[in-house]
Structure 1
């Protein structure tokens, strides 16, 4: 079964489009991607098919009958419209061909997608083709009316070739025809790689772009070609979700590292593009996460549709209609009210006695951190005509004791309007297992872990199987020694594994204990090793102004790291967890789980004191020692 984007076809699609959509989804291979009506730099073909052993095929769908056609030639068709009026249109074959070359022209600019020598130099390194699907005409109609003299048989589908209910239908013929709809007469010697397909998606669909190493266009034998490396795009499931969230109120529940924030930001960009006059609000709890989302949105809005249009000297686009705030900043600066006033203001708004700003769309990240009254006031300020509210959450990352029912809090039902993201893309398989084993062992919610789509449950993460080193565990005599070891490890990762300093994060629970001034010792250890650092959570100003790519190691509380990710994460002073003064032990479990899942590749936990959590880590260290005893090393 092929991957279709969107996952389901819109209800207003024609009967023929719906039939063809179902046929492609059912009968094409699992690794084929079928796009329905994608927007590609101003053009909107009906279907685009991408397959590793295929290349790209662009298809137009026509629900014509033989009575529709009055006079046709290779360039234009005279057709009889619905009420008997005649119209002259571009030949559907020419329309499909033009759309195909539009796609090809976009892709041919990428050095990695073209052949740089040989007979097909500067052509795409994979085949591309086009065709037309006639959903209400049969092969016998084409023969009887002599239509094959104008329309090449191998470049069109008829009803009997796409309808599984027809006796003449054959899955083999469907595949064979698609494989032969090509302009360039060569087959792929080797299938397209995942990197190739991601590069194709990166160019055709700017909304799926996350990042790429962009190098200046390079001249190559009188051609100017793009050079991109390390391309990262949304995964297909994430793209599907961003494009088919739908209107009105929606809920996305996802595990740590599943791309919830990326989907939310991409959704905001799409809404802004489709509705430039809309006022769009993005809210979250953390100041540092609001700052990160602001930077992500700014990057997305300044990402050019066509990378050759990229002008580094051009004035940056400001997100005019997208406002990003942490909740309390929004309350203070935009609504001009204090949190204590919320209950009274909610009543005033309900009685229409207060006038506050309204929003056409609101998107809330880390929704599990929001109080009932917070959600209530947000929902009251959404345009009643749009009712566009997107809530994104992960109950396993709950660190505040919130009791809620979304129906009561917002007045909106999310029954049948929610999606679950269970795949963790951020962390390696080893980090996912390590963090989840800890959570399952210590959380009082462990018996609520199920995989069905029910409100209130914890979702078990699935790993993408991306492998990496086992999380490190460092036990030291005291915190001074602990930080010396951590600082040296950071230096080693930087020089030996080439991990950038700004891709490393140190997380702490509290900035001082009765024994140690934690922050002072962290800063001293980094300074002694000559490592520049930025303390994100020094104050509100540092939280709002931090930039990730500044060449400095970051330092943060675990609370403020929600929504962020780094290549390497060091959680220090784990002996202070569960924190003795914190009455809610479950919050401590969630905090350490959150901290662990910030790490994309390298994770290290260090401690010099003793606590319930360090005793658990002692057990893991003991298991590792016993396991290593049984290993015989052969030189």
Structure 2
């Protein structure tokens, strides 16, 4: 079964009856390795063909679908058709000419890339390796009607599929043969996976990911008008693209493992909604550092005027300020912020429905009452609410915090929940060690809310070195090891911005920041007063707490003081989740350090040993 992007349920409101039938037939009758895009902009001109059909061994085919009936065709020529409608005579371009223009756009865009052309030594030197073609589907005209009306003189018969040729009973092979007979020449070799990514990179700029920026690199700034084509390209995977394009109206939930691209999809959704809505869009998360990073990235994409980004308590404070509510004072005042806003809503002092859409990252750290409050802030006309979460990263409370049903907090997402299992951020080695460590500490199959089990991440298969666990004499010794390793990495060309030190205690953050400063290494610390400035300025090593690291990623991560986890009286499972979060911030390598034995040192050592034994 072919994959349709976006999903049909999302497309139905704008599909004609004929387009709906064509989409159903293509999905049902084509094999699993076919991809179908419906009404998705392509290339530099953002043209919108009805369907683009792609197969790695066949090529790219543009199909224009027309719901015309024979009796409505008043005149026709190779350039245009004149149709009888309720509005009188309407002139439209000949659909085969329209399809040809779209297909030519595909050819022009792809031929710019040397890696998609035949090499100089080939007999097809300089020609595109990927065939392209075009055709028309006449959804309400049979083959007999087509021939009797002499339409073959206007649209070549081989480039047309008629009503009776894509019925539910049509033979799958016959339909596929009809499609590929539209090609003037056949493909001799299948496209490789890198070539397929390059085709998608060129045709669909929205799925581009800027190299080296991970999940935050979506919407590569060169996407629309660049002439230069990078040697290394990165795009959303097919599941991510389908999900991003298929997020329709209503309440939606994405349950994704760490590194599965949840935040990238959130950013895609923000850009889409910013074009479609007039009311402001609200992005909420728990972590102040992640909020600052999201605000920076969305600002770089010129979305700041439409998208507001807050951590939840800062948003509550902004609401209190805007509507002149009495602010709590004294110890623990921030914990009382949500209740003050909720009371304001109930009393009519804070208006409901303020936002055209609300998107929540780190939903696993939100309390039930917070959801009840936020759900009331969405404009009921759009009703656009997206929640992204991962139970494994719930590090701000016990598991009971998420023991509630979505319906009980005003979120109706039945049938609109998506699971992302594939982890793209971490290497197989990092993910395997992190999984083995967390599974030794807790039960990964325990139910979360709504009876849904915690999802175990699966590796995308990228390889790298096995995480290191090194012992030092004391904290100063750990700092010396880290400084030496940073200098070594610098000598091999790694940027300081590619490295981070992730610590459990604020006191340790200050200590290691000072140690790097004494060693002459530029570093920036995520202090409470300066988290928004963490990613500003030149290249620096980032020093962040485990809590503040959530949502961030760096090629090389140092995790000192593991020997102090868990401390006496601390929740071992919560501390394990913190260390899991710290490890999964690394895209290439993890170095953990300790100066004393502890439960987590033992479990981590065992997980690393198992990884080494497995090869």
TM-score computed with the length of structure 1 as normaliser: 0.84
2:37 paired with 1:35:
yes
Give the deviation of 1:111 after TM superposition: 4.7
Contact 2:516 2:523 in 1 (8 A): no
Of 598, 601, 605 in structure 1, the residue corresponding to residue 585 of structure 2 is 598
Q: Is 1:446 equivalent to 2:447 in the alignment?
A: no
Q: 1:71 to 1:518 in 2, by over 3 A?
A: closer
Q: Structure 1 residue 328 and structure 2 residue 327: aligned?
A: no
Structure 1 residue matching 2:381: 3-state secondary structure: coil
Decide whether the 8 Å contact of 2:404 with 2:450 is kept in 1.
no
Residue 103 of structure 1: how far off its partner (Å): 3.5
Partner Cα separation in structure 2 for residue 172 and residue 563 of structure 1: 47
The superposition leaves residues 285-337 of structure 1 with CA deviations (integer Å, 9 ceiling, x where unpaired) of 111101221233234x3xxxxxxxxxxxxxxx352111111122222235425
Which residue does the alignment assign to 2:600?
A: 613
Pairing of 1:15-26 with structure 2 (within 5 A)? 15-26=17-28
Q: Partner of 1:306 in structure 2?
A: none
Instruction: Give how far 1:263 is off.
Output: 0.6
Residue of structure 2 in register with 1:532 after alignment: 522
CA distance in 2, matches of 1:215, 1:335: 36
Q: CA deviation at 1:72?
A: 1.9
1:420 is matched with 419
Write the distance in 2 (CA, Å) between the matches of 1:148 and 1:64: 16
Structure 1 residues 113 and 286: alpha-carbon distance in aligned structure 2, compared to 1, 3 A threshold:
same
Measured after TM superposition, the shift of residue 557 of structure 1 is 0.8
| Aligned equivalents of 2:32, 2:131: Cα separation in 1 | 20
Q: What SS class does the counterpart of residue 614 from structure 1 fall into?
A: helix
Conservation of the 8 A alpha-carbon contact between 2:433 and 2:608: no
8 A contact 1:56–1:129 mirrored in 2: yes
Consecutive unaligned residues of structure 2, counting only runs of 5 or more, are 213-219, 322-326, 329-333
**1:558 matched to 2:550:** no
Q: Deviations over 1:185-206 (max 9, x none)?
A: 5544443333333233233333
Aligned residues: 587
Q: Deviations along 1:420-465, whole A, 9 cap, x unmatched?
A: 111111111222221111111102x434169xx9455311111112
For residues 243-280 of structure 1, the C-alpha deviation after alignment (integer angstroms, 9 at most, x for no partner) is: 112112111111111111111111011000122x2210
For 1:190 and 1:79, the matched residues in 2 are separated by 43
Note if contact 1:502-1:548 (Cα within 8 Å) is conserved in structure 2.
Answer: no
The structural deviation recorded for 1:561 is 0.5
Query: 1:621: how far off?
Result: 6.0
Please list every run of 5 or more consecutive structure 1 residues that lacks an aligned counterpart in the other structure: 218-223, 302-316
Q: Which residue of 1 aligns with 2:501?
A: 506
Q: Say if 1:428 and 1:600, in contact at 8 Å, map to a contact too.
A: yes
Offset of 1:30 from its aligned partner? 2.7
**Alpha-carbon distance change, 349 to 2 in structure 1, aligned in 2, over 3 angstroms:** same
Query: How far apart are the structure 1 equivalents of 2:370 and 2:162?
Result: 56
- Please point out which of 240, 243, 257 is paired with 2:242: 240
| Distance in 2 separating the partners of 1:622 and 1:89 | 68
Secondary structure in 2 aligned to 1:617? helix
Q: Name which of structure 1's ranges 133-142 and 120-129 shifts more when overlaid on structure 2.
A: 120-129
Distance change >3 Å, CA 194–CA 618, structure 1 → 2: closer
Shift of residue 511, structure 1, vs aligned partner: 3.7
Distance 2:503 2:295 in 1: 25
Q: 2:405·2:450 contact (CA, 8 Å) conserved in 1?
A: no
Task: Please show how residues 35-434 of structure 1 align to structure 2 within 5 Å.
Answer: 35-40=37-42, 41-81=45-85, 83=86, 85-114=88-117, 124-165=128-169, 169-182=170-183, 185-212=184-211, 225-275=227-277, 277-299=278-300, 301=301, 317=302, 319-336=304-321, 337-338=327-328, 339=334, 340-355=336-351, 358-401=354-397, 402-403=401-402, 405=404, 407=406, 410-434=409-433
CA RMSD of aligned residues (A): 3.1
The separation in 2 between residues aligned to 1:11 and 1:525, in whole angstroms, is 57
Give TM-score scaled by structure 2 length. 0.87
* Cα displacement string for residues 559-591 of structure 1 (whole angstroms, at most 9, x for unaligned residues): 100001111212111111113353x33221211
Task: Judge conservation of contact 1:216–1:227 (CA < 8 Å) in 2.
Answer: no
Contact 1:287 1:540 in 2 (8 A): no
Give yes or no for contact 1:132–1:157 (8 Å, CA) kept in 2: yes
How much does 1:494 deviate?
A: 4.1
Q: Structure 1 pair 460/449, CA: closer, same or farther in 2 (3 Å)?
A: farther
CA distance in 2, matches of 1:477, 1:624: 26
| Alignment check: 8 A CA contact 1:278 1:359 kept | yes
| Residues 193 and 369 of structure 1: CA distance in aligned 2, closer, same or farther (over 3 Å) | same
